[in-house]
Amino acid sequence: MTYKDRWLAWLFLAPTLVLLAVFLYYPMIGTFVESFYSTSFINPNPEFVGFEVYRKIIASREFSEVLWNSVLWTVGAVILQNILGFSTAMLLNQGLPGQGLLRALFLLPFILPGVVTAILWRFMYDPQLGLVNSLVVRLSDAENAVAWLASADTAMIAVIFTAVWKGFPFSMLIYLAALQSVDREQLEAATIDGAGPFRKLIDVIIPSVSSVILVNIVLTLILTFNYFDIIWIMTRGGPQDSTHIFPTIIYETGFGQFRFGEAATYGVFSILVLSVLVALYAIVQRTTSNRRATS
Amino acid sequence: MKHYISYAALGAALMAQPVFAQDVTLQFWDNQQTESGLSDVQKAAVDRFMAENPDIAIEVTTIPYPEYQQRLLTAVQGGNAPDIATLDQIWLGAFAEAKAVVDLSDRAAEAGLTRDQFFGGAWDSAVYEDALYGMPFNVDVWQFSFFNQDLLDAAGVSSADLSTFEGLRAAAEKMTGDGKFGVGLFGHAGEDTVAVMNSFIFSNGGEVLASDGSCALNQPEAVEALAYVQDLAQFAPNGILSASSGDMRELFLNGSLAIEFWPALEQPTLKSSEINWGFVNGTAPEGKTPVGTFGGWNLAMFESSEHKDAAWRFMQFLVSEEVNGDVVDLIPANTNAAETFLAANREGPDQIMAHLNNAKPRPLSARYLEIADVQMRLYQDVLSGTNAQEAADTACGEIDAIN
């Protein structure tokens, strides 16, 4: 790249960099700074308190609950979403009749806005009127319907299921594209060698798409960790804080209770986790590119 | 040609009319809490004010309740607060502490506006650290026990039984079964949950905060009330920890719930339904009077207003006996206006007045929202079976740490 080309590249990048600096990095740095101050609506003049807000938050029962919930929510939704997405992609890759229609049907949850999905599932889980319970009661001879969103034992499972329902088509699309690039000759050779469908999956298909799987898992980790709509609409973090995750606690602390300093501190924890995930994504991407370059 | 001359003459005549310069434009923000069509009536009142005060123009902005708090907060933080706004009683302490709203004590005294013209609890909800930061605008009380008379009759229950803790429990037990539920308790993380649970505590002689500001939820009267509600919950619909008063209303309206807890605001909905309904004023142990939890809104003037005198004129107009009843969707906070309003719009006006006069406000603290957050967790813990004393001790530890 010549000197002139380099200048031109920076020139084209400049608008994006300015926008990122103003709308992303500046607020992010502001959040870091605010987390060292005690600021709230009733105490609008910031008072520097160092790590005091961090100490207070880490010592609170809310923090450990939020941390545990975030891990459960993110890992649970990502694993299930990827398994279901991969399985569906495998199914759609078989050249079944009506494949176009099936693909459109599977995509439907993905194109629904998160708020609509949450309202829909909230109604589905309703203990008195919901479809889920009418099925459970009919199929299991249960006397009482399960109050999915009203029990600390089941609320997280219910919201994860909703997130998987909404998110699996995203993974499915990516896996479907990857599966279509699996070498047909290798599959035919495996068939000739007597490999059944399971062996072909383990020895041919998964190794061929492993880099895509890794990238997809890291991407969905980032997206799920940061997801707000479904939990906020369905449970508002309850009951008994059993579904509070970082985005919901930040919103509630900042906009529900006017405690900006504490909301900023939760925001910093959230940024740290996301930074790790983004770094992981970058590492996976680089490893994948290197592997491609050497093969 | 003749027509053109006539039109020109008419135009000239119109232009010759005296034009009142509207020197001041006031921004008034209000929340839209119900779908009562109130805005038309409110608009008529505002038009009347502008006609009587040609130097003042009013721009009314109505914001749906779920967005209202955030919009106000952002406006104050951004220096774009309106001149006047309605503030939920539970927000006033925070806005006063933040010095966002004006101390109205002197203006009110000068204008002869005193506590005895309003519901006492409503007036007190506008007082923060001995200064008056708002004018009581509208009120209601959590809760009235609205009952389905047909379900009561079928179970052989008298509505008078619902007024006592013991009677309510017995009635709820009788009316639960065959797809029907005795009592519409709810426990989602919302202010309606806090208000209803508080009223059980108040009615049993308990308090949320003691007079010295310390937490009183772990005192015997409060714990006893919590244990009572925990026991009563077995006669409520499944899944109350995610249910709100709105969810219970749906069950009440479809005839599967015998008793729902709502403010008097519920009456217009019930009147337009086919339910054969009635109500009693909350519930208390035998020999005690039910004490409700006040809800409602105060009018506040913002420090950033450049037209405080004009704003005060408008505030006085809105809380006056003649106007207050026309511009609220709850119950006017002005007691004389309330009597007229209730007689015209509600069943059992005397009964409602008695419950209003006996109601208590929620804690008047600048950190109320944090306290309420702990209370919500406490009530959810109790409703899900945690020992009431243990849950209350934990909650009090957290509330005292906040204070």
Q: Where are the domains of chain B?
A: 22-140+295-357, 144-291+367-402
Tell how strand B56-64 and strand B144-148 pair up.
unpaired
Q: Inspect the interface and report whether the beta carbons of B242 and A235 lie closer than 8 Å.
A: yes
Asked if A240 and B241 come within 8 Å (Cβ–Cβ), the reply is yes
Q: Confirm if B215 and B395 have CB atoms less than 8 A apart.
A: yes
Q: Is B303 on the interface with A (CB under 8 A)?
A: no
User: What pLDDT sits at residue A122?
Assistant: 93
Give me the average pLDDT of each 10-residue run along chain B (403 residues): 48 44 84 63 85 93 85 88 94 92 97 94 92 95 96 96 96 94 95 96 96 94 98 94 94 96 94 96 94 94 96 95 84 93 94 93 89 95 96 96 84
With CA atoms as reference, the chain A residue closest to B376 would be A240
The answer to whether B251 contacts chain A (CB < 8 Å) is yes
The region of weakest confidence among A2-6, A240-244, B4-8 is B4-8
| Predicted local distance difference test score (pLDDT) of residue B14 | 42
* Shortest Cα distance, chain A CAs vs residue B350, angstroms: 36
Cβ <8 Å between B188 and A155: no
* Euclidean distance between CA atoms A77 and B269, whole angstroms: 41
* Residue A292 pLDDT exceeds 70: no
Q: Of the given ranges (A137-151, A220-234, A235-249, B341-355), which has the lowest mean pLDDT?
A: A137-151
Name the DSSP letter for residue B182: S
Listed by number, the residues of chain A in 115-134 with a beta carbon closer than 8 Å to a beta carbon of chain B are 126-128
Q: Which of B238, B252, B364 to mutate to test the interface with A (most CBs of A within 10 A)?
A: B238
Task: Find, in chain B, the residue whose alpha carbon is nearest to that of A255.
Answer: B70
* CA nearest neighbour of A209 among A113, A67, A107, A90: A90
B78 touches A: beta carbon within 8 Å: no
- Residue B176's nearest CA partner among B240, B235, B234, B238 is B235
Q: Identify the closest residue of chain A to B179 by CA–CA distance.
A: A128
* C-alpha dist (Å) from residue B140 to A81, A271, B105, B121, B293: 47, 43, 24, 10, 9
Mean per-residue pLDDT of chain A: 90
Contact yes or no for A238 and B189 at CB 8 A: yes
Q: Which of A42, A238, A255 sits opposite B242 (nearest CB)?
A: A238
Q: What's the pLDDT score for residue A135?
A: 83
Cβ–Cβ gap B242/A255 under 8 Å? no
Q: What is the pLDDT of residues A158-213, one digit of tens each?
A: 999 999 999 999 999 999 999 998 988 998 999 998 989 899 999 999 999 998 99
Q: Class of the B22-140+295-357 domain? A: alpha beta
**pLDDT at B15 (0 to 100):** 46
**Pairwise CA distance, residues A175 & A185, whole Å:** 19
* Position with higher pLDDT, A2 vs A19: A19
pTM score of the predicted model: 0.84
Q: Which residue of A has its CA nearest to B366?
A: A42
**Helices B388-402/B368-383 angle, 10° precision:** 170
Domains B22-140+295-357 and B144-291+367-402 share a fold: yes
Which residue in this structure is represented by tokens 């007597």? A194
Which one is the CATH code of B144-291+367-402: 1.10.340.30, 3.30.70.100, 2.40.420.20, 3.40.190.10?
3.40.190.10
